[in-house]
Structure 1
């Protein structure tokens, strides 16, 4: 059961801690929108060269060592259950007109397409948005180079988009963030698209990383709540937020 701690105590803060434990201390129906991209468990993948670093980019990529304090290499069933538990907590926290935008990646695992049904299970997915990001890594000649990720829109019954936001369609062509010091960041333009497409005032990201969701919330005069287990990434996020407040939107969009 969630505690009765006031949600206002979390506004415009990044909590350094475990996502599940932190969310369980937050009251039900207290946030409007969740936008997040969790660790993908890439080091547990077969065929992408991540485990042994063979070929091309992975040989020198930061993620070959995992994240700052997380190896990104859980047994597949444990990882899926962990993410499902997180989604259930996110859903509990949503107001009756709220929605989760959950960014993940379909991949070929053991020769078969893995669409993350092991994570989503019975969640009420209203729509799948394709984030066409281009680029990617594929050392397997058995399938084409992946150039997109997916965003599951998991909505409560009364959720509606902001006026005219439906005109964006369900394929978003947005370039990857290539200059962020975090090893697995998503672009500010992607977070901006999600936030501006909703009317929610309280935006939660339980895997905050380098603070991109927080910056998008600030851009649109929304409150943000962030959770991040790595102290290093929390400090990174705070520095980016401070820089954004000092330099403004244009410079942040161009980093």
Structure 2
């Protein structure tokens, strides 16, 4: 595992996950692509962009179109979760961030992805703000974090005093279409005693930065070489700031 610590591996998520030994990871914190361009409710599916017309996500992620047939997307995410469970220690947990949405007029709550996995709790991440051009439902202002646990998982001392609704704003000024706020990841990691943190959808590097700030080690996986390079740059900058502070 020493060869894996504090590195981001650039490649296909399932192929890279299979290289990680069984029961070697303490905590998984991740937010996968949401398959937004296959969504009927935001105008992306037909290419117009809808409320996202000026957003970078209209073009998808770098090296990932974010436009898979729904059944294929579900199978992919379930395979990813299965691998995450394999590499997780018996006292570990997965914090799996996703978003519910209305599809064809009905709620899509991601049960088709997480069904059968040991979900212990759902945390509401209230992001604040947003836009809603659909007169059929209220403005969505939150995402969900599924806490999927192994049997022996326990929170760090005092962490159970947090409620299950977290008011944390969205990340700003990050060169990525859907960055994880560092504050959110810090809340998750600091709520665990885990020393080795895995993010198999590393993106802009927020999970690694949060781990470093809390004195933990990380392992990252990211398919895009551009995002890998950007994440490494952010991590290096944050490490320099930490050294200056010390």
Scaled by the length of structure 1, what TM-score is found? 0.93
Q: Where do 5+ consecutive residues of structure 2 fail to align?
A: none
Match status 1:163 vs 2:157: yes
C-alpha deviation, 1:50, in angstroms:
2.2
- Is contact 1:98-1:159 (8 Å) kept? yes
- Is contact 2:95-2:147 (8 Å) kept? yes
Match status 1:88 vs 2:92: no
CA separation of 1:102/1:41 partners in 2, compared to 1, >3 Å: closer, same or farther?
same
Q: Distance in 1 between matches of 2:151 and 2:44?
A: 40
The aligned residue for residue 142 of structure 2 is: 148
Tell me which moved more, 33-42 or 46-55: 46-55
The aligned residue for residue 96 of structure 2 is: 102
- Is contact 2:26-2:195 (8 Å) kept? yes
1:240 to 223, 234, 242: 234
How many pairs were matched up? Answer: 244
- Is contact 2:168-2:183 (8 Å) kept? yes
Q: 1:115-174, CA deviations, whole angstroms, 9 ceiling, x for partnerless residues?
A: 101111200000000000012343221111100000000000000000100111100000
The aligned residue for residue 214 of structure 1 is: 208
**Root mean square deviation, CA, Å:** 1.5
Tell me which moved more, 195-204 or 42-51: 42-51
Q: Distance in 2 between matches of 1:133 and 1:62?
A: 19
2:37 to 38, 43, 48: 43
CA separation of 1:29/1:55 partners in 2, compared to 1, >3 Å: closer, same or farther?
closer
Q: Where do 5+ consecutive residues of structure 1 fail to align?
A: 1-6
Match status 1:112 vs 2:98: no
Say which SS state the counterpart of residue 130 (structure 1) adopts. Answer: strand
Tell me which moved more, 11-20 or 241-250: 241-250
Scaled by the length of structure 2, what TM-score is found? 0.96
- Is contact 2:44-2:50 (8 Å) kept? no
